[in-house]
Every structure is written in structure tokens, then in C-alpha cells.
């Protein structure tokens, strides 16, 4: 396994001082899977004070990140940082969240025993090779997520592991081993003890995973504990020519079809919640969901606020969910009007969302709309590239010009918007003389 030079150096220094050190956890798993990994975690037999002495003796800076839990962050000469944690076991968990106490131990295998899944319980260094007491490498080969030890006990100790299991299944495309799977479902309610921020972090990674469709479908009852707003759409059929999936399968498909952009993935996850509250069936047996977009928006906002999603994500989701079914059109003037209303970024999000939504519908019915969305996007690109006006600030006249004609206060904005509409509609050229000429004869 090819570790970075600075991590090898650190492991070597600790070894030379008479202790053991290994790369461990996510980075070893990702190396074995030939996936990129940003942070290499190191586990060591050295106690925190012993480790700090080794670092000081070698002029390596460090930060006491979690001294109580035995974690020190080493800052290497080349700027790379490593979290170095002393081998430890964890005491009882009283609340499915925090271990009461940690105990430092001297055998790497005892440290590996506290880790959540076999694929995350592998340690490696160049001199000793792998420490892999739970068959993590074999599980990586078989693409299996399996709890270390008794799954039921492990999920009761720390319920975040429930979300982590489904998150890894989505990101890595692995199956969850049967006993582990059963324990996931049996303990799902414990997820309610986990902070919303931590749920959000795991859910976000899950949504970006390759295998997100299968995971959202198979583990929907777990997802429902994390985001209760989703449960009502689990069994809503949609009998229309446009759809081949019920609302939840359609939702999951649309998440999978969305670009790998977290705000868009959350938008798709939440976009159709309102269908649970708006369904009507006409005399031909066709279902309708009038007004569902606005209601989806209300539930989406509640969910995102509770999960403490960053404002940047919430704002993007909320800019699109309540209008995701609106028609954009393919004429340049339609596009400019939407640009005026939404701004470029939101309009681009809306196009991406409409495309993902379509791709999760009846494949026989989507070709034309997908083509229209492509045209809309091309024309949008052209409008932007040409610097054509779609906002008041792009006009060849400004507030001062309008004031000079005698307008005051609120009138100025009204006049500028009237001019903009005419420019967008092609009735007026965006040229100062033409506009002033028009305004000279204009009455508010």
C-alpha cells in the first residue's frame, strides 16, 4: 500500500521511539479500493503525552484536538496534517451517542474492535503490513458492510452507525450483510438520539453516492426516521401517463439522475413531498397533484431547518422546489423573463432539476421535454455570453438618467422595469438615445 511520504515519516518516527503506529480506518479502506482519500488517520500505542514528546523532539507542530479521547493532530513540515489517536477501547454508551469513558490499550487489535465496520477496522504500516482481525479486506473484496462484533450491540452503543452503514452502502456500492441489515432496521428508532447536524452530514454523503437509488428504496424506513417528512410519499401511486414509478421510487430515481451537486440532490429528495397532500383522481382514473410544489416547499423548509442544513443549501433548494413544475419555454424572451425573475444561478438550478425530474419519469414520454430543456439551456448560455440585458443594471440607462427626466423616488424603479420589459420583449433597443427618446413621450 502506498502511503504518502509524510505519513510514512510520522509512522516511522513513532516506531523509532519504540512505539507502534499504523494508518487506519477510512484511508486504508479507500487505498484498498483505489479510491482517493484526503485524510490519513493514524493509530498508535503511544499515549498522548508520549506522542507529544516524540513530536516535540522532532520539531513537529501539533494541536491537542481531543486529548480526552487520545487524539493529537500532527502538522508536518510540508503542511500535511494527521490525526493521531492512541489505541483505545470505549466504555459504555449511556445514550446511543457518547461513550462514557475511553481506556487506552496496548494492542492494535483492541483498538480495531471499537470501530464500526470491518472495512473500517483495518490498520497498515510498511513494517508490519496489515492488521485485519475482522476480515475487512475480504469484505472489501466481497463488497460487504458488516458490523465489527455483534451488530445489534454496536448500533445500540452508537446509533450514528446506522446512518453510516447506509451511507457507506450508497457511496461504495456495497451490500449490507444480513445480520447487520436486520440490526439496522431493529434499532432505527435510536437514530432519534443523534444530533441533526450529524444526521445531515451522513445523509448528504448518502445522497451523493453512486448507489443512492437502491439505498433510498431499500432503506426507506431508516431514511424516514432521519427525515420524517418523507414517509407520507412512500406509498403514493401516481397513475398518469407521465409516470411509471410511485412517488418514492420516482423521488429516489430523480436524486440519482441529478448532477453531483448537494443542493440539487436535496432538491430532488424533497421536491414531491406535497404529492402526499394534494392527490386527486379524476373520472378517468388519472391522478392529479395540483399545488404540490408549494406544499413540498413548506415541508422541505421544515426538514432542512431541523437538519440545520447550511443556508447556502437551504436557499438553493427553496428557490426551486416551490416552482419546479413551472414551464420555462424555449424562446429567448421567455428565458430573459426567467432570468429577471430568478437570476442566472437559480435558473440553471431549475433547468437541472426539471431535467432530473424528467429522467425519473416514463422513458417513453420524456424525449421532447428533454430536447426543450437542452434548447432552453443553449439559449440561456447564448444570452449570458452576449451580455444581453435581463436585469435593470444591464440597461443602457440608469436611475440618474431617469431622474434627469423628472421622475422621483419609487417612480424611478417602475420606469426602469418598464423599460427592461420592453427591451426583453424586443420592443425597444437597449441603447441610451432610443430609450430616452421613448421615455420622453412616456406617461406613467
115 contact, one of ligand ATP, Mg ion, none, CB 5-8 Å limit per kind: ligand ATP
* Sign for the pseudo-dihedral over CA of 348, 350, 352, 354: negative
- The DSSP letter of residue 174 is P
Residue 105: name the closest of 150, 65, 70, 135 by CA: 70
Helical H segments across 220-366, by residue range: 220-226, 247-257, 262-270, 275-278, 292-306, 311-320, 332-342, 344-359
Q: Which is nearer to ligand ATP, 27 or 397 (CB)?
A: 27
135 part of the interface to Mg ion, by CB under 5 A: no
25 part of the interface to ligand ATP, by CB under 6 A: yes
Region 23-42 residues binding Mg ion, contact defined as CB under 5 A: 26
Region 103-122 residues binding ligand ATP, contact defined as CB under 6 A: 115-116, 120-121
Give the list of residues 6+ apart from residue 344 with CB closer than 8 angstroms, or none. 380, 384
Q: Which long-range contacts (CB under 8 A, 24 or more apart) does 287-293 make?
A: 287/237, 287/238, 287/239, 287/240, 288/240, 289/238, 292/325, 293/321, 293/322, 293/323, 293/324, 293/325, 293/326
The closest residue (CB) to ligand ATP is 26
CB of 91 to ligand ATP, least distance (A): 14
158 contact, one of Mg ion, ligand ATP, none, CB 5-8 Å limit per kind: ligand ATP
Q: Which is nearer to ligand ATP, 90 or 231 (CB)?
A: 90
Q: Which is nearer to ligand ATP, 28 or 318 (CB)?
A: 28
Q: Which is nearer to ligand ATP, 160 or 227 (CB)?
A: 160
The closest residue (CB) to Mg ion is 26
Q: Near Mg ion by CB under 5 A, which window of 20-28, 49-57, 79-87, 424-432?
A: 20-28
Site string for ligand ATP, 161-200 (x = CB under 6 A): x---------------------------------------
- The DSSP letter of residue 387 is T
Q: CB-side exposure of 285: number of CA atoms within 13 Å?
A: 2
Residues of the shown chain interacting with ligand ATP in the complex, contacts defined by CB under 6 A: 25-26, 41, 115-116, 120-121, 158, 160-161
Amino acid at each position: 500500500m502506498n502511503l504518502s511520504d509524510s505519513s510514512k515519516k510520522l509512522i516511522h518516527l513513532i516506531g523509532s521511539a519504540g512505539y507502534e503506529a499504523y494508518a487506519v480506518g477510512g484511508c486504508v479502506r479507500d487505498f484498498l479500493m483505489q479510491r482517493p482519500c484526503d485524510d490519513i488517520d493514524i493509530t498508535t500505542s503511544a499515549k498522548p503525552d508520549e506522542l507529544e514528546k516524540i513530536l516535540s523532539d522532532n520539531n513537529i507542530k501539533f494541536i491537542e484536538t481531543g486529548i480526552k479521547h487520545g487524539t493529537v493532530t500532527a502538522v508536518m513540515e510540508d503542511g500535511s496534517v494527521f490525526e493521531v489517536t492512541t489505541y483505545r477501547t470505549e466504555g459504555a454508551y449511556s445514550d446511543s451517542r457518547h461513550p462514557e469513558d475511553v481506556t487506552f490499550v496496548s494492542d492494535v487489535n483492541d483498538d480495531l474492535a471499537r470501530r464500526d465496520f470491518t472495512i473500517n477496522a483495518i490498520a497498515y504500516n510498511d513494517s508490519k503490513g496489515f492488521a485485519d482481525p475482522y476480515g475487512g479486506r475480504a469484505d472489501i473484496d466481497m463488497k460487504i458492510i458488516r458490523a465489527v462484533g455483534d451488530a445489534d450491540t454496536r448500533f445500540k452503543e452508537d446509533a450514528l452507525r446506522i446512518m453510516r452503514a447506509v451511507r457507506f452502502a450508497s457511496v461504495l456500492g456495497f451490500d449490507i450483510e444480513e445480520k447487520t441489515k436486520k440490526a439496522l432496521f431493529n434499532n432505527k428508532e435510536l437514530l432519534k438520539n443523534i444530533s441533526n447536524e450529524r444526521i445531515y452530514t451522513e445523509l448528504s454523503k448518502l445522497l451523493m453516492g453512486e448507489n443512492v437509488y437502491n439505498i433510498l428504496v431499500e432503506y426507506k424506513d431508516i431514511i424516514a426516521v432521519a427525515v420524517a417528512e418523507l414517509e407520507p410519499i412512500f406509498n403514493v401511486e401516481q397513475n398518469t401517463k407521465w409516470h411509471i414509478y410511485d412517488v418514492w421510487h420516482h423521488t429516489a430515481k430523480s436524486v440519482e439522475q441529478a448532477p453531483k451537486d448537494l443542493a440539487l440532490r436535496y432538491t430532488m429528495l424533497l421536491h414531491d413531498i406535497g404529492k402526499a397532500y394534494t392527490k386527486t383522481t379524476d373520472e378517468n382514473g388519472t391522478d392529479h397533484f395540483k399545488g404540490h410544489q408549494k406544499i413540498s416547499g413548506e415541508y422541505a423548509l421544515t426538514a432542512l431547518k431541523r437538519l440545520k442544513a447550511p443556508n447556502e443549501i437551504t436557499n438553493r433548494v427553496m428557490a426551486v422546489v416551490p416552482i419546479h413544475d413551472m414551464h420555462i419555454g424555449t424562446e429567448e424572451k421567455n428565458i430573459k423573463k426567467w432570468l429577471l425573475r430568478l437570476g442566472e444561478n437559480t435558473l440553471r438550478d431549475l433547468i437541472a432539476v426539471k431535467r432530473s425530474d424528467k429522467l425519473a419519469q416514463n422513458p417513453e414520454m420524456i424525449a421532447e421535454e428533454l430536447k426543450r430543456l437542452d434548447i432552453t439551456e443553449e439559449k440561456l448560455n447564448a444570452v449570458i455570453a452576449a451580455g444581453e440585458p435581463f436585469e435593470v443594471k444591464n440597461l443602457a440607462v440608469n436611475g440618474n438618467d431617469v431622474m434627469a427626466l423628472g421622475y422621483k423616488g419609487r417612480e424611478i424603479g417602475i420606469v426602469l422595469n418598464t423599460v427592461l420589459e420592453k427591451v426583453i420583449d424586443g420592443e425597444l433597443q437597449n441603447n441610451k438615445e432610443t430609450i430616452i427618446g421613448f421615455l420622453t413621450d412616456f406617461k406613467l
